[in-house]
Structure 1
């Protein structure tokens, strides 16, 4: 157990088998709606080297060059068939270091896969044990970043940072803090004066509502980027050039009419497992669950389903109806491209 994990344990954190963290019920000292949570189910991969950017540009779906404009990016690493092996969030840490944040259960295998090609570019890769990840959300989040990290919070879609932390601004006053593990306990303590600790699931639920599918070992190599709406969240750039799987991904974009995409859904009952089947009233398989979490009176989930399917749909294993919800971004139904 790391020093950071021991510290969180002393704050009441309990680690679950999937790497997420729960806390006993707590109240905010100042009764604010701002909260923080450790994202222990995710890890960082560090890439060092003068050619780190050009190397990664040839391996992933997003345009790594856009980091120079202080814009972080979602992205994916695909196999030769254009299936997503790992999804990630990408930002720069300063100098010639890049950071990928991804599911902890894919961190080592993704690092090893990239390393096979990195030797020719003299890029060093490592699963980063020197940083941890926090989520900070709520109306006071930007003020707390400025107050305790010494720099203004970035605008949505951008990142900024120092030796102490890299901060990414997501949507709706939601921020990720990629922090030096030695500095993390002190930062947690000062933040706790103004915000309360929260379970990791609360952050994951917001990811789902944002329509951002996160791949882990249970869902790796099952979906194309288009299945997951990745072109719609700037996780795919069709003009950047070659990468593994690019021919398949580009062909789907330019020559195919897509028949399925990612939907936000909800339903009653227990949380379905990833890859659980979704069927129509005749029991015919129509899609599957990618991610799901509990919410009041049921669950909320992301599922890959047929486009413009007006049929009533059900969780196949329980014959329970599901309801489609609106995603927070526009969906171009014809070809799933922005």
Structure 2
């Protein structure tokens, strides 16, 4: 059973203020072929998204390894936003641009927007987007099983980066949301890091990079490893080769490993 660590529990009880999430960045996809392009490249079923809905999604290598995990928002019939917690939007856009070819889609970084984390119950339904995209003000319910919270996209302001950013990272980790940096990029298959629990990967839609490996893993039950939460002594004794990510808040540490 997963419990909220004492340091995080104390922080949440203090009614914390909003905090900018400095690692988050936003990549826009706009044009008549934006949805079709995303459907062909990404691992979740983009065609299921109505306007003002979002999903966990990601981009895989041809070997079925996760390049990036992100939130995909449909803000208009012909416009999508990628909210990337880990890989900078500029880097993700640079990698994706080579696959645009004749697709009528434009990629661009929304550097004038910021992502802000807010702890507390959100009034937005799961997978729905509240707000006004024309005003560049959006809210997503990003609660985990342990921590109620919401993510806000808005014009960049002078909002401070507080300890709330570290608390947000810890809450994500406790919710089974892995963070992929450095050597972890293109290392794990979606099932190894349990992305099916986030409903971030589809085994029913058409082809996309790595789809054959994802389908084979799912239908043949070939994956025997999964993402496991480690804390305290278990984290310090973990084999570094299995560790995907870790976070610290106050005196408490936790990590996610593939075991």
Please classify the TM superposition score into its range, dividing by the shorter chain length.
Answer: 0.7 to 0.9
TM-score, with structure 2 as normaliser? 0.84
Aligned pair partner of 1:80 in 54, 62, 76: 62
* Residue aligning to 1:19: none
Give the Cα–Cα distance (whole angstroms) in 2 for the partners of residues 50 and 295 of structure 1. Answer: 44
Give the Cα–Cα distance (whole angstroms) in 2 for the partners of residues 232 and 289 of structure 1. Answer: 19
From the CA coordinates, give the structure whose radius of gyration is larger.
Answer: 1
CA shift, 1:71, in A, is 3.4
Q: Deviations over 1:94-114 (max 9, x none)?
A: 352211111454432321222
Decide whether the 8 Å contact of 1:61 with 1:236 is kept in 2. Answer: yes
Residue 155 of structure 1 pairs with residue 115 of structure 2: no
Residue 288 of structure 1 pairs with residue 242 of structure 2: yes
Aligned pair partner of 2:218 in 244, 253, 277: 253
Mapping of 1:42-121 within 5 angstroms? 42-68=24-50, 70-103=52-85, 105-121=87-103
Aligned residues: 244
Give the Cα–Cα distance (whole angstroms) in 1 for the partners of residues 51 and 188 of structure 2. Answer: 30
Mapping of 1:1-338 within 5 angstroms? 33-68=15-50, 70-103=52-85, 105-139=87-121, 142=122, 153-162=123-132, 163-171=135-143, 172-181=147-156, 184-185=157-158, 188=159, 197-268=162-233, 278-279=238-239, 288-295=242-249, 297-305=251-259
TM-score, with structure 1 as normaliser? 0.66
Decide whether the 8 Å contact of 1:268 with 1:298 is kept in 2. Answer: no
Decide whether the 8 Å contact of 1:266 with 1:300 is kept in 2. Answer: yes
